[in-house]
């Protein structure tokens, strides 16, 4: 004898607990990911509008508010940076421009000292990198 089938798989009770638990785990992972340390230095460049850019090949140096110099993702002392910049200037076919990514709390003495260091290494021009002002 054949019995009528009343149970339909698509009409069963939907258990939401597994879905909610997976979403909670994803939320916890995303929140924990935001607290993970990211390498690098924190710089806050000054804000400015309509400044000219560099039209020649450039070399970038970062300067934080404590006066530490960073080049090619490494911390450098002044003597090491001078020799490295002079090597790059000697091997370059065109004159180079120094782009200084300085923190807004860096003093003018630090900026001038870095520009003179680059000039001694054979890089005649130095530009200060800035961020554009926010649009009102």
pLDDT in tens, 95-118: 899 999 898 888 999 999 999 999
pLDDT tens per residue, range 46-69? 888 877 777 788 899 999 988 899
Percent of the chain with pLDDT over 70: 91
Is 117 within a domain?
A: yes
What pLDDT was estimated at residue 8? 62
| pTM score, whole prediction | 0.66
What pLDDT was estimated at residue 7? 60
Q: Please provide the average confidence, as pLDDT, over all residues in the chain.
A: 85
Is 16 within a domain?
A: no
Given a cut of 90, whether residue 27 has pLDDT beyond it is yes
Is 100 within a domain?
A: yes
Tell me the residue range of the domain where 111 lies. Answer: 58-128
Is 5 within a domain?
A: no
Residue 30 CB burial class (10 angstroms; 0-12, 13-18, ≥19): exposed
8 Å CB contact between 123 and 57 = no
Number of domains making up the chain: 1
Distance CA 55, CA 41 (A): 27
Residue linked to tokens 């994803």: 26
Mean pLDDT of 17-28: 92
8 Å CB contact between 82 and 120 = yes
Q: How confident is the model at residue 9 (pLDDT cuts 50, 70, 90)?
A: low
Q: How many CB atoms lie within 10 A of CB 102?
A: 23
CATH of the domain at 71: 3.30.420.270
Is 48 within a domain?
A: no
């Amino acid at each position: 004898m054949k019995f009528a089938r009343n149970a339909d798989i698509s009409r069963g009770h939907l258990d939401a607990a597994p879905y909610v638990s997976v979403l909670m785990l994803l939320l916890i992972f995303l929140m924990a990911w935001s607290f993970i340390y990211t390498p690098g230095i924190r710089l806050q460049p000054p804000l400015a509008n309509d400044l000219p850019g560099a039209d020649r090949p450039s070399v970038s140096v970062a300067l934080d508010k404590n006066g530490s110099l960073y080049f090619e993702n490494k911390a450098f002392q002044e003597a090491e940076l001078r020799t490295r910049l002079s090597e790059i200037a000697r091997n370059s076919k065109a004159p180079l421009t120094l782009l200084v990514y300085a923190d807004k709390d860096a003093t003018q003495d630090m900026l001038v000292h870095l520009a003179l260091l680059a000039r001694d290494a054979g890089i005649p021009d130095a530009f200060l990198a800035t961020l554009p002002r926010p649009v009102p």
